[in-house]
Amino acid sequence: MVSLADRKSTYVSETAFLSIVTAAVEVYGHETYGRLLGHCSNGRLVVEYAFPYQTAKRGKRRTYAWVGPDQRVDKRLKTFLYGLTGLDLVGEFHSHPGPLEQDSSRPTYPDDLEDLQEGELQLIVSINRNGRMRGWRHLKNGSLTGSIGDYSLRLTAWVVQDGRPMVSWLVCPYASGIDR
């Protein structure tokens, strides 16, 4: 894993952004899950690629749905992806379909971050199909929000710093240029 110590921002490439939001729209109504590959550069984490897992396990708990990797497949893909790209596994992403919560400075569900370790990134995509058109912008905490077509999205990058989860400022020049 890449160390995220003292990291204040996370850069997401165009390729990773497209994979993440496309995966969330594809399974809208359900959660998507995937892994993030990248490296450290100039004091920030750079996410180069995002790979949605077609074999993600889904389930229901008392008040919400959950999604996660099939452990056998996850182990196989971690080795394969490093061999293919030479990049580090830097974290994972998943989506939350439904109304966007007002406060993105807290995770939507308490166990979203329970397995998040120092040196990992958890990117949560909140997605709602409400038909409202909004340009892309940063929220005060560093989340990135905007719309594409009928879908409103908010991407929040979580890291652990000094033993506690915090939101990392999300930088994605591609998303910032979307105005449709």
Chain centre distance of CA 13: 12
CA distance 60 to 67: 9
Please determine, for residue 112, whether its predicted confidence score (pLDDT) is greater than 90. Answer: no
Domain ranges of the chain: 9-176
Predicted confidence at residue 118, as pLDDT, reads: 74
Write out the two tokens for 15. 């390729």
Predicted confidence at residue 61, as pLDDT, reads: 53
CATH for 9-176 (3.20.20.370, 3.40.640.10, 3.30.1330.10, 3.40.140.10): 3.40.140.10
Please determine, for residue 2, whether its predicted confidence score (pLDDT) is greater than 50. Answer: no
Write out the two tokens for 66. 């959950």
Q: What is the reported pTM?
A: 0.82
Mean pLDDT of 24-46: 88
CA distance 121 to 100: 21
Mean pLDDT of 90-111: 69
